[in-house]
Amino acid sequence: MKSFKFLDLETCSLCNRRCPTCIRNSHPDKEKVASFFKKILLPYDVIKEALDQCRDLEFYGGVCLSHYNEPLLDDRIVQIAMLVKSYGMFRPIYLHTNGDFLDEFVAKGLDGFLDRIHISFYDKEGKEEKARWTNSLFKKTKVVNLTMSDHVPTHFSPKFNVNELALKHQNKRCLEPQIRVIINHRREYLLCCDDVVGNFDLGTFPEISIKDFWFGEKRIKIMNDLDKEGGRLKYGYCKTCPRP
């Protein structure tokens, strides 16, 4: 079986924005997403253990230091980026940010330790000037300025007809579970980027090792089911997924 291509680590729970289309804000079960609105850090030793296990698995893929959060709200983010870079084997190392907390000091700390930084500009006013400014901050790290940023449809997004999209896609194969290992701020394994609250009960890290998770029967069965046309119909959450 092929290895995963990316390790996603949600190092901090918080985001300063309340975009209605983001699944952390639009999810109807507010109790299940309550932890996103408290400051919870993925412990540093847990992050290091995940990287150690990836090294032992001879994983040479990418490491993303963000998920459904704003990573620059984690005061340790520079230290964490330096740690990932120190292994010398993970590429690309990157994160996604809204840029609200980006300044010269943070940029200098991240420059060269991230291979690239994705900056989304959701505010129309002054976005071109801000994009030029952020580009000037980095000398070694590639800046990907997303000046036309928008959220993609998720299960509960108020901006899209999610029911119509789900019906359109429910017979299509889904390859997302074959791509990445996601560990959120609660140390939960997530099946995919839409699985914000751990709908598939895949366990927690490091109680379940990355190797045992990736090669475990439960994940493999779900992955194989979703790799077939109509496979989404076997899982209620996948059946209602609006993503293609």
CB neighbours of 178 closer than 8 A, spacing ≥ 6? 2, 4, 223, 227
Q: Using one digit for the tens of pLDDT, what is the confidence trace for 183-200?
A: 999 999 999 999 999 999
pLDDT band at 128 (very low <50, low <70, confident <90, very high): confident
Tokens of 33: 């997403």
Rounded to whole angstroms, the Cα distance separating 72 from 111 reads 14
Q: Using one digit for the tens of pLDDT, what is the confidence trace for 143-174?
A: 998 765 567 889 999 989 999 999 999 999 99
Are 116 and 141 within 8 A, CB to CB? yes
The β-bridge partners of 183 are 9, 189
Mean pLDDT over each residue of the chain, to the nearest integer: 94
The burial of 158, by beta-carbon neighbours within 10 Å (0-12 exposed, 13-18 middle, 19 or more buried), is given as exposed
Does 188 map to a domain?
Answer: yes
Apex 146 CA angle, 142 and 150, nearest 5: 150
Counted domains in the chain:
1
Q: pTM value?
A: 0.95
- CATH number for the domain spanning 99: value is 3.20.20.70
Are 116 and 123 within 8 A, CB to CB? no
Does 241 map to a domain?
Answer: no
Does 78 map to a domain?
Answer: yes
Could you list the residue range(s) of the whole structural domain that residue 197 is in? Answer: 6-153+176-226
Does 140 map to a domain?
Answer: yes
Rounded to whole angstroms, the Cα distance separating 210 from 50 reads 7
Rounded to whole angstroms, the Cα distance separating 118 from 97 reads 6
